[in-house]
Amino acid sequence: MMIAQTPPPPYYAVIFTSLRTPVEDGYKDTATLMMTLAQTQPGYLGVESAREGVGITVSYWESLEAIRHWKQQADHLIAQQMGREKWYAQYKTRICLVERDYGFDKE
């Protein structure tokens, strides 16, 4: 996994923080599908994800409209429902405007 290469701000970040249940049935396949589908959505800029107890996935978007469209995408709606029914004990979604970013790359 790499750090997402985002354009100069402003853009939006969707931070999805979750605690999983022990249920694995279909989770990894669905997570892979969601990553693949998100990349095809207009306005998608990138994603970063980590899981060590608490899962945190940050996706980056050009606009609030792009985020709304992704939230309503048909397969994503099914995944959201399955997440509430089977895979997540708790989650929180936060949507933020990125006004400034900076970084470091040793290479």
Q: How far, rounded to the nearest angstrom, does the alpha carbon of residue 89 sit from its chain's CA centroid?
A: 17
User: What percentage of the chain carries pLDDT values higher than 90?
Assistant: 93
Confidence at residue 14, expressed as pLDDT on a 0 to 100 scale: 98
Give 22-98's CATH code, choosing from 1.10.287, 3.30.70, 3.40.50, 2.60.40: 3.30.70
Confidence at residue 81, expressed as pLDDT on a 0 to 100 scale: 97
**Cross-sheet strand order for the sheet of 54-61:** 44-52, 54-61, 11-20, 88-98
| Full-model pTM | 0.93
Confidence at residue 107, expressed as pLDDT on a 0 to 100 scale: 79
Confidence at residue 65, expressed as pLDDT on a 0 to 100 scale: 98
Confidence at residue 94, expressed as pLDDT on a 0 to 100 scale: 98
Confidence at residue 2, expressed as pLDDT on a 0 to 100 scale: 87
User: What is the tens place of the pLDDT at every residue in 11-54?
Assistant: 999 999 999 999 999 999 999 999 999 999 999 999 999 988 89
Contact present, 16 and 83 (Cβ < 8 Å):
no
Write down the domain spans for the chain.
22-98
Alpha-carbon distance of 48 to 66, in angstroms, equals 18
